[in-house]
Amino acid sequence: MPLARTHSIALVGVQGHPVEIEADIENGLVGLMLVGLPDTALREARDRIRAAIVNSREKWPNRRITVGLSPASLPKRGSSFDLGIAIAILAAAGDIPPARVSGLMFLGELGLDGRLRPVRGVLPAAAAAAAAGFGAVAVPTENAPEACLVPGLRVVAAPSLGVLLEWLRCQDPVPGSAGAVAVFEGGAAPGPPPGAGSGAGTGRDLADVVGQPTARRAAEICAAGGHNIFLVGPPGVGKTMLAECLPTILPSLDIEAALEVTAIHSIAGTLPSGCPLLTAPPFCAPHHTATRAAIVGGGTGALHPGAASLAHHGCLFLDEAPEFSADVLDALRQPLESGEIVLARCGLSARFPAKFMLVLAANPCPCASAATTRTACSCTPLVRRRYLARLSGPLLDRVDVKAEFLPVSRAELLSDRKLTEPSAIVAERVAAARERMAHRLRGSGWRLNAEIPGRELRRRYAPAHGALVPLERAMDLGEISARGVDRVIRLSWTVADLGGVARPTVAEISYALGLWLGVVTG
């Protein structure tokens, strides 16, 4: 009984799981049957695979073909299994020596003419293949730069099924040749060099935010320590501009973080063309009409990452934050604490990383008219409270910095223009502060002050003796919660790192408390 096996990868979240593809050909009613929890896209592969094999001038076995995907309990979704199924069928028919496909992982979608089309999630799939002990992976040519990011993995890039079959039969690689199989070694990605992330190229510079010196300082502190920030002020004072400048003062991602960010964007299908590796912190700014699934991830069928995960190691900017649905905003409370999003569905659970800086922006009231302008605000105090009350207390309790923007006069704009600094200079201070954090946190598993758990703050990273007096007074007055105390201490460590202070003192604690309460204005 003809039987052949190949392998592919099923993605659940950002985790890849090896899948064994078995093809069995026997006498019986002519047809192709897929078993092993395939979804609709995978069931449609039967027609794609048959057309691709025939149009590649290969003989289709006119017998009963059964293709099993194991483990059978793991849901299989997407079209990346096409190539593995086609190779398994041809190997079972005797057209390919079974020894040629052993140790080789197959990923790719087949066109009806036999072309190999790129698929999503190649980077995490290739990493899972290497972790499972596979030495090589066959992918479409367009996905080769992404797969080559995995060190120690041999990447076989082919433009079509027919070309790959010729290579499997003769094992004669032609590296870099057009229209032929190209073989690369992992760690040396072909094509363009690694590119920037989605936060790059905004054309913004922190020097453009004029008249708001305290807000610029608050943004610098948040960028250095990875803290969340809430921007409040009337239209036109620079809230959105300041948020868009944050990526310009953030350091580039290290290789580990870059691979995590690239894997998420690869799964979501948002990886820029010709950019195999994202090295700049991402910046995501969803519209206020976005649904909860669009923000935290999910969807029907396959589980896709949302904007919170796409902003991993970067910024998630929610402009006009009170206009977002309450359930969307409250869904961010858990990932702000844990740094990941767990999506649970019937028989399936997926984890997506979500360590991001949350940047909220809001007008002070629905009419958005400042009291100091010619068009005075006509909203009653009750209307103002109801408007900002759309942002729940538990959510704002997780925001480290509240910065208020005030309208500025022409004289203030002209005088502050001489004091503004370009993003490049501020980025140097942020990078220096992060180096101090890395030195202090080495071996702990945390990268930023915002990630330090509260128990470790009190045990290993306590401020200087007597520095907590302002916090104790605020707690006695009921102005701050226990969670807020931890966040103020983390914030004070960042202020100390930017100032070159070894340990937070009363000055750093007082300034951090003012930022947390929102009483420091610019």
Name which of 39, 144, 27, 53 is nearest 81 in CA terms.
39
- Amino acid identity of residue 138, one-letter, is A
What is the per-residue burial (b if ≥16 Cβ within 10 Å, else e) of 122-154?
bbbbbbbbbeeebebbbbbbbbbbbbbbbeebb
Per residue in 459-491, pLDDT (tens digit) is: 899 999 999 999 999 999 999 988 899 999 999
Residue 54 CA to residue 250 CA, distance in Å, equals: 52
Residues of the chain with CATH 3.30.230.10: 3-185
Antiparallel, parallel or unpaired: β 154-158 and 136-140: parallel
Find out whether the peptide bond into 151 is cis, omega within 30 degrees of 0. no
Residue 127 CA to residue 311 CA, distance in Å, equals: 21
pLDDT at residue 198 tops 50: no
Specify the DSSP class assigned to residue 108: -
Q: What is the pTM of this model?
A: 0.90
What is the predicted pLDDT for the residue at 44?
A: 87
Cβ neighbours of residue 217 closer than 8 Å, sequence gap 6 or more? 522
> How wide is the angle at C-alpha 308 spanned by C-alphas 441 and 511, nearest 5°?
50
User: 206-425 adopts what CATH topology?
Assistant: Rossmann fold (3.40.50)
Residue 373 CA to residue 171 CA, distance in Å, equals: 75
What is the per-residue burial (b if ≥16 Cβ within 10 Å, else e) of 78-98?
bbbbbbbbbbbbbbbbebbee
Cross-strand partners of 230: 360, 402
| Least-confidence region, from 158-167, 263-272, 275-284, 381-390 | 381-390
Query: CA 422 from chain center: how many Å?
Result: 27
CATH number of 3-185: 3.30.230.10
Are 313 and 352 contacting, i.e. CB atoms less than 8 angstroms apart?
A: no
Per residue in 202-227, pLDDT (tens digit) is: 568 999 999 899 999 999 999 999 99
Residue 458 CA to residue 284 CA, distance in Å, equals: 33
Are 505 and 499 contacting, i.e. CB atoms less than 8 angstroms apart?
A: no
Per residue in 308-351, pLDDT (tens digit) is: 999 999 999 999 999 999 999 999 999 999 999 998 877 778 89
Quote the tokens at residue 1. Answer: 């009984």
| CA distances to 70, 147, 414 from 184, in Å | 29, 10, 57
Radius of gyration of the CA atoms of the chain, in A? 27
What is the predicted pLDDT for the residue at 98?
A: 86
Are 77 and 115 contacting, i.e. CB atoms less than 8 angstroms apart?
A: no
Per residue in 225-237, pLDDT (tens digit) is: 999 999 998 888 8
pLDDT at residue 1 tops 60: no
Cross-strand partners of 136: 104, 154
Per residue in 417-444, pLDDT (tens digit) is: 888 899 999 999 999 999 999 999 998 8
- Amino acid identity of residue 489, one-letter, is I
Residues of the chain with CATH 3.40.50.300: 206-425
Specify the DSSP class assigned to residue 178: T
Give the long-range contacts of residues 385-390, CB within 8 A, separation 24 or more. 387/322, 387/363, 388/232, 388/322, 388/362, 388/364, 390/321, 390/322, 390/323, 390/324, 390/326, 390/329
Are 124 and 171 contacting, i.e. CB atoms less than 8 angstroms apart?
A: no
